[in-house]
Structure 1
Amino acid sequence: MAIMNRMRSKHMHCPPSNMLSLMQAFADGVRQHNEHRETSIGQYHDFIWGNVHSVVNQTFPMFSQQLQENELNNLVTAFVEHSQAIEPEFHHIATEFVRFIQSGHHAVKPELKTLLEYEWVIFNTEINTEGVKAHSDIFSEKALLTEYRVELNPTVTFIQVPFSINDNEIAFHKVNQELQAYAIYRNMKHQVLSQPLGYNDRYILEIVSNQYSISVDELLAQVIPQLSENYIHEWIKHYYQTGLVILSQH
């Protein structure tokens, strides 16, 4: 039995050359749009194309809405025909599509490429397997806050983009306008949030992100006198409630 298993394994890893040729021809036929190919291959091509189109529309809705229908169709066709993607799962197709656009195989405006990457971060945060700790109301007394350490939400990703988003409305920035920073993360209710960050937010978060965790006292020592103690207390309280930061006791 062991010998038979090894023989099967050997044959599976080394298929006949004619089988490889047939498999390659089938794969090439599926990728390429050709009116003269076999009906079964054409149907499979249409199925794959429709699947990719659906993934792109559902995963990157804001990106898709910025394109004319024929522009989006051309991108999907180019991806099916020329990408090196081999994984069929939903999340693999989405990721491979972003890589394909990033590679420059098909011309896409830089701001639209950034929008695509922004939506991919949202998608990736949604499927991130990291757990987010539940939290409770610990702010009955401000004095208690100094007993805690501040950590970042483990699902957070920071990104800077040349646009602002308000109620899913996109406003692209002018050429020399400063980039907008966002913190994208999943809270304990499994909601993915995209939090725009101001200068003070970025200043504090950079300090916190440089360490696995930092005590409130240590944080205060680094930001005063630029920011007041009361400001930091209110900042921690706000972002603890939204889930961007986590508090753990010493």
Structure 2
Amino acid sequence: MLNTPATMLTEIELFSKAIRQQPKQKSTRRYHEFICENIVGVIENTFPLFSETQSADDLNQLANEFIYYHGATEPEFHQIATEFVQFSQKRAEITPPLLKLIEYEWVTFNVEIAMERMDKVHPSWEEIAVQPDVFTLSCNSVMQLIEVPFLVEEDTVNFLSKDEDFVVYGVYRTKENIVVSQKLRNIDVAIIQLISQTPKTTLAKAEQHIHTHLAGFDFMHWVHSFTQNQLITIQFLGDKHD
């Protein structure tokens, strides 16, 4: 492979620097505006809830600051969303609640594009209920938990009034490739974490463990509900886990 001439590298560096600095020269300014428009497009499409909190001028300013200040760690175009999160985490002007919203939407985006696919074959609940000792529990393979200071209802965000208030969402994708964001209770989070930490535990052993700590809790009903919404997966003991 031939080495890039030093003069060309210098020219590329100068051209890139000029684009970052909102150039006045017409030809260079066109490149800057094109890149800025693309950055705004990525923000609006990947972070729509956050974008709703910003004016068009605010988004343009964010894009310009991103281009000028952010030294990308992975400058490929498809990495812009991740790079924008990293940029936002260092920008003092973005408040903690808005930063959490950006991170929440980034989690949603990553769940959507994750390569893993859900198994479409599941045992019937009748089989599971009869032989809980031959089935294992695992979490949805792309599920992520995130703690946030707001409630998400359809396409709106309602920020909680107190700084110490927060809720936990389980964000995952179904076998129909639909991204779901489910608000979870403390007990839900505790059981999900238990399942994540012991992925090969059988349904019978998990039920016994839960009953030791919460005698009145209907664990089987919980499992039935969470397998129906596909946050939890049940597999035959001999099957391979992802």
TM-score by length of 2: 0.90
Greater displacement, 223-232 / 165-174: 223-232
The equivalent position to 1:113 in structure 2, one of 96, 99, 105, is 99
Letter in 1 for 2:108: I
Other-structure match for 2:224: 237
Other-structure match for 1:101: 88
The 1-side partners of 2:47 and 2:163 are apart by 26
Deviation digits for residues 26-60 of structure 1 (CA, Å, limit 9, x no counterpart): 1111222122x2x3221111111111100100110
Q: Is the 8 A contact 2:111 2:172 kept in 1?
A: yes
Deviation digits for residues 56-111 of structure 1 (CA, Å, limit 9, x no counterpart): 00110000111222222211110011111262423x0111011111123x520110
How many residues matched?
235
CA RMSD, aligned part only?
1.8
The 1-side partners of 2:177 and 2:64 are apart by 34
The 2-side partners of 1:122 and 1:191 are apart by 11
Other-structure match for 2:240: none
The 2-side partners of 1:228 and 1:69 are apart by 54
Other-structure match for 1:87: 75
Cα deviation, residue 177, structure 1: 4.0
The 2-side partners of 1:172 and 1:69 are apart by 22
The 2-side partners of 1:174 and 1:158 are apart by 22
The 2-side partners of 1:30 and 1:89 are apart by 16
Q: Is the 8 A contact 1:118 1:159 kept in 2?
A: yes
In the TM superposition, what are the counterparts of 1:23-62 in structure 2 within 5 Å?
A: 23-35=12-24, 37=25, 39-62=26-49
Cα deviation, residue 137, structure 1: 5.6
The equivalent position to 2:6 in structure 1, one of 10, 14, 17, is 17
Deviation digits for residues 194-217 of structure 1 (CA, Å, limit 9, x no counterpart): 011002201211211112222111
% identical aligned pairs: 28
Gaps of 5+ in 2: 238-242
Is 1:217 equivalent to 2:201 in the alignment?
Answer: no
The 2-side partners of 1:46 and 1:238 are apart by 50
Q: Is the 8 A contact 1:184 1:193 kept in 2?
A: yes
Gaps of 5+ in 1: 1-8
The 2-side partners of 1:164 and 1:223 are apart by 28
Is 1:135 equivalent to 2:124 in the alignment?
Answer: no
The 1-side partners of 2:187 and 2:179 are apart by 22
Cα deviation, residue 230, structure 1: 7.1
Runs of 4+, deviation exceeding 6 Å? none
Q: Is the 8 A contact 1:161 1:179 kept in 2?
A: yes
The 2-side partners of 1:73 and 1:117 are apart by 20
Deviation digits for residues 113-136 of structure 1 (CA, Å, limit 9, x no counterpart): 000000000000111111211134
| Secondary structure in structure 1 of the residue aligned to 2:151 | strand
